[in-house]
Amino acid sequence: MTRLAFSAMLAAGVSLAALGQTAFADDTLLIGAAISKTGWDAPYDSPVMDGLMLAIDEMNANGGIAGKFPVEIETRDNRSDNAQNAIVTQELVDEGVNMMIVTCDSSMVHAGAQIIVGAQIPAISTCSSSPTLPLSGDGYIFANAVTDNVQGAAQAEYAFGQGYRKAYLLRSPDIEYSQMPLYFADAFKKLGGEVVGESLYSLGQPDFSAEVTKIKELQPQPDVIVTSAFEPDFPAFIRQLRGAGVTVPLVAGDGIDSPTTFALGDAVEGVVFTSSGFAEPGSPMAAYQEKYEAKYGKPPESIMDALGYDLAKIIEAAVTQADSVEPAKIRDALANLENVQGATAEISYKGGNGTPTRPVAVIRIEDGKRVLVSRKAPDPAIVPAPNLDLNAAQ
Amino acid sequence: MAYFLAQSGNALSLGGIYALLALGLAVVYSILGLINFAHGALMTLAGYVLVFAAVLGLPFYLSAPLAILVVMASAVLLERIAFRPVRGASGATMLLTSFAVAVLLQLAFQLFISTRPQVVPLPDFLTATVDLGSFAIGVNRVISVVVAVVVLIALNLFLKRTVLGLAMRAAADDFNVTRLMGIRANRVIATAFALSGLLAAVAAVLWIAQRSSVDPMMGLVPVLKAFIATTLGGLGSLLGAVLGGLLLGAIEIYLAAYLPDAALPFHGAITLGVVILVLVVRPQGLVGASRELGK
């Protein structure tokens, strides 16, 4: 017996023993989760996993998916490190997982993508909104959240609809997500808007006074400022911007949906952001949030955990459709899913090349609370194509 | 001209907080020759103390002193547990020890508190801005500059007018001879760490006023900036730390303000390039002497 096979058997044996179940290994859906439990990416993966476990526990209480495929999760910490992510991805593949859940940060997933493609195992990212991730996943890696290009288009539709014509961008070339304003610019120009300037920042930049002073000097002032900055950059920026007396409306991405944002008081009054969902009274999202609060004893902090519930529902639908836990069958079923009811929305993958089709919620912050502005998919004609080299496109 | 003045105000205020951060590193370095990378983790700890104090309903005028006390005690404790066993070892050993302490604390925050950022409620006056006509400046930044200057003067008085201060200066000059004179090494070093803890906690309050939350990784950026600032000013020099902080702030702000758009993506690289250029001309840093405390 090879050492590899032995250790795989050992691992399988240990995890089965830990569960104390006598399930037939053949019918068990073994999901390998290569996620960040520590490091800078952990705040994004951990709430998604909370929402996911809530759904998985529900399913296992009913005998597993479709009453016959119990679900088991094998989690490995990639420590928010690209190289470590490739290692844990390989480990999980070697353990013979049926499918994978991969981390929120797209660059880390890119680092393990070729292992997943080579092993032909379907994988879904916890909360990555990267539209390019499914491209490098070659049909095996799927996104879950509303992708950056779709959010950018929804922001453009909203901004143009408000009568804004001159936009100013604040973006960081450091990671893919913080480049979302470039997708906005693309869609905004298609609608007839104009980008009058931009500022660049570095992730974790402690001070935005230089950028704010630049914006304040602009004559005439832009109609709208667009950014996908997130914590801790977003609070620092918006505080300094409003503190300097600049009252230009601001449109942001889903990354600002965090308790810190809502604790900023007057500084964020009127800020508008795009999101994967909104808890309207009586909606599946509101029902989900009640379940969450019952299980964890506190209300959800953001939409991230609901995305985890979505993820579990997508897996459930794919395995039910495939009626099998074979990776190839799950992949095919997943790629053709239509109208799966998750916590945040109805989600489809058919024809999306790995990106989900789901409505975008446009949310305004009023008196420190979320107020729904609109909830629809943006016009496909203005949604920019995924772009692997955003900077070069400028 | 108004634009230049506004950006100069920004440079001064960013430099003020960098100076405060750099002072915290320099106090320990001047005695032990140790760059304490756990300084950032002490700032993070101060943030969590503020969060827990708020949960307990303590007002700011109680929670801030509490944070300062806890962090000072922790700094002294860190010295006792982690740094004393490697005292006198090579610089690399001490550096690695401080990295290890920083990583351990960061993991402890992640595992025992939360990976998610925690909101830190701060009084309005800290997050407000003062309008100076053509530009506005954050109150927390004005405080940073004032505190950095006050701390610098107070430290100087302490070092020149008190016995403990004299002992610290002597220790910085020649630690072994100082011990032969009957000065207790542990007391001197513990004092240095307590001082750096005080500076870490004060800097943390001002740093958090800007970003509104604390997370396990919060200390990384400030400790890095502080390290660059102390190197720029002259390792081991307190005055150098302050000047280095002010210069680093100025470099960052003026580059962000005047670089052409095409060069902006390289802002960080150019900033460090300028720092390296200064060090090529003055390898010992702005304030040459690496023995400021002893003089």
Do A304 and A159 lie in a common domain?
no
CA distance A245 to chain B (A): 8
Of the partner residues B212, B225, B267, the one whose CB lies closest to the CB of residue A260: B212
pLDDT given for residue A189 in this prediction: 97
- The number of folded domains in chain A is 2
Query: Tokens standing for B255?
Result: 């580059």
Query: Tokens standing for B242?
Result: 């302050």
* Cα A149 from Cα A184, distance rounded (Å): 7
Q: A353 lies in a domain? A: no
Reported for B260-265, long-range contacts at CB under 8 A and 24+ positions apart, including other chains, are B261/A198, B264/A199, B264/A200, B265/A173, B265/A200, B265/A391
Query: Tokens standing for B233?
Result: 């000013």
* Cα B37 from Cα B42, distance rounded (Å): 10
pLDDT given for residue B294 in this prediction: 44
Predicted confidence band at A5 (pLDDT cuts at 50, 70, 90)? low
Lowest mean pLDDT among A16-30, A84-98, A154-168, B47-61: A16-30
Do A248 and A286 lie in a common domain?
no
Q: Which residues in A246-267 are b (16+ Cβ under 10 Å) and which e?
A: bebbbbbbbbbbbebbbbbeeb
CA distance A296 to chain B (A): 14
User: For position B72, which CATH number holds?
Assistant: 1.10.3470
CA distance B294 to chain A (A): 34
pLDDT of residue A10 exceeding 90: no
pLDDT given for residue A181 in this prediction: 96
Query: Tokens standing for A61?
Result: 């209480």
- Asked if B136 lies within 8 A of A204 by C-beta distance, the reply is no
Residue A1 burial (10 A CB sphere; 0-12, 13-18, 19+) = exposed
Type of residue at A276: S
Predicted confidence band at A1 (pLDDT cuts at 50, 70, 90)? very low
**Cβ of B282 under 8 Å from any chain A Cβ?**
no
Do A264 and A371 lie in a common domain?
yes
Do A376 and A255 lie in a common domain?
yes
CA distances to A61, B73, B188, B199 from B20, rounded to whole Å, are: 56, 19, 21, 7
Report CA A210 to chain centroid distance, whole Å.
31
pLDDT given for residue A237 in this prediction: 94
Domain limit, last residue, from A326, A347, A368: A347
* Cα A202 from Cα A218, distance rounded (Å): 22
- Asked if B135 lies within 8 A of A264 by C-beta distance, the reply is no
User: What does the CA dihedral B131, B121, B142, B35 come to, rounded to 10 degrees?
Assistant: -150
Q: In this structure, what are the phi and psi dihedrals at residue B109, rounded to the nearest 5 degrees?
A: -60, -40
pLDDT of residue A393 exceeding 60: no
pLDDT given for residue A15 in this prediction: 52
Do A245 and A331 lie in a common domain?
no
Type of residue at A121: I
pLDDT of residue A19 exceeding 60: no
Q: A67 lies in a domain? A: yes
Of the partner residues A43, A199, A239, the one whose CB lies closest to the CB of residue B127: A239
DSSP per residue, A56-89: HHHHHHTTSBTTTB-EEEEEEE-TT-HHHHHHHH
- Asked if B256 lies within 8 A of A236 by C-beta distance, the reply is no
**Cβ of A173 under 8 Å from any chain B Cβ?**
yes
CA distances to A52, A297, A320 from A343, rounded to whole Å, are: 11, 18, 18
What 3-state class would DSSP assign to A346?
strand
pLDDT given for residue A274 in this prediction: 96
- Asked if A216 lies within 8 A of B135 by C-beta distance, the reply is yes
Task: Determine the number of helices (DSSP H) and then strands (DSSP E) in chain B.
Answer: 12, 4
pLDDT given for residue A20 in this prediction: 44
CA distances to A49, A71, A150, A237, B113 from B206, rounded to whole Å, are: 34, 48, 38, 15, 22
Closest CA to B191 of B208, B172, B216: B172
pLDDT digits (tens, 9 = 90+) for A273-299: 999 999 888 899 999 999 999 999 999
Contact of A148 with A131, CB cutoff 8 Å = yes
Closest CA to A255 of A373, A345, A161, A172: A172
Q: Which residues in A308-332 are b (16+ Cβ under 10 Å) and which e?
A: bbbbbbbbbbbbbbbebbebebbbe
Q: Any idea what DSSP says for residue A170?
A: E
* Cα B164 from Cα B184, distance rounded (Å): 10
Residue A18's CB is within 10 A of a number of other CB atoms, namely 9
Do A259 and A297 lie in a common domain?
no
Query: Tokens standing for A208?
Result: 């935005």
Token look-up 């239509």 returns: A338
Q: A27 lies in a domain? A: yes
Q: A352 lies in a domain? A: no
> Which residue in chain B is spatially nearest to A264 when comparing CA positions?
B212
* Cα A364 from Cα A275, distance rounded (Å): 11
Closest CA to A325 of A26, A123, A2: A26
pLDDT given for residue A8 in this prediction: 53
* Cα B48 from Cα B52, distance rounded (Å): 6
Question: ∠A80-A85-A86 over CA atoms, to 5°?
Answer: 155
What 3-state class would DSSP assign to B283?
coil
Query: Tokens standing for B269?
Result: 């690289």
CA distance A378 to chain B (A): 31
Q: A140 lies in a domain? A: yes
Query: Tokens standing for A180?
Result: 């979302």
Q: What is the mean pLDDT of residues A62-69?
A: 93
Do A293 and A256 lie in a common domain?
no
Token look-up 């995924």 returns: A386
pLDDT given for residue B261 in this prediction: 82
Do A210 and A156 lie in a common domain?
yes
Do A367 and A242 lie in a common domain?
yes
Do A369 and A264 lie in a common domain?
yes
Contact of B249 with B225, CB cutoff 8 Å = no
CA distance B69 to chain A (A): 25
Closest CA to A361 of A348, A382, A378, A347: A378
ipTM confidence score: 0.87
User: For position A157, which CATH number holds?
Assistant: 3.40.50.2300
* Cα B138 from Cα A366, distance rounded (Å): 25
Query: Tokens standing for A258?
Result: 């965090």
pLDDT digits (tens, 9 = 90+) for A130-152: 999 888 888 999 999 999 999 99
* CB-side neighbour CA atoms (13 Å) of B230: 27
Q: Cite the beta strand spans of B108-244 per DSSP E.
A: 118-119, 129-131, 136-138, 213-214
Contact of B10 with A207, CB cutoff 8 Å = yes
Do A98 and A233 lie in a common domain?
no
Do A238 and A367 lie in a common domain?
yes
Contacts (Cβ under 8 Å, ≥6 apart) of A65: A29, A59, A71, A315, A316, A319, A320
Query: Tokens standing for B3?
Result: 């634009």
Question: How large a percentage of chain A has pLDDT more than 70?
Answer: 92
CA distances to A204, A299, B197, B202 from B65, rounded to whole Å, are: 27, 32, 12, 9
Where chain B has pLDDT below 50, the residues are 290-295
pLDDT given for residue B292 in this prediction: 46
Q: Give the pairing of strands A250-252 and A272-275.
A: parallel
pLDDT given for residue A53 in this prediction: 95
- Asked if A206 lies within 8 A of B213 by C-beta distance, the reply is no
| Beta partners for residue A168, in sequence order | A197, A225
> Which residue in chain A is spatially nearest to B130 when comparing CA positions?
A243
Question: Could you list the residue range(s) of the whole structural domain that residue B173 is in?
Answer: 2-294
**Cβ of A308 under 8 Å from any chain B Cβ?**
no
Question: Could you list the residue range(s) of the whole structural domain that residue A18 is in?
Answer: 3-145+282-347
pLDDT given for residue B135 in this prediction: 66
* Cα B165 from Cα B293, distance rounded (Å): 9
pLDDT given for residue A392 in this prediction: 57
- The number of folded domains in chain B is 1
Q: Give the pairing of strands A194-200 and A250-252.
A: unpaired
> Which residue in chain B is spatially nearest to A198 when comparing CA positions?
B261
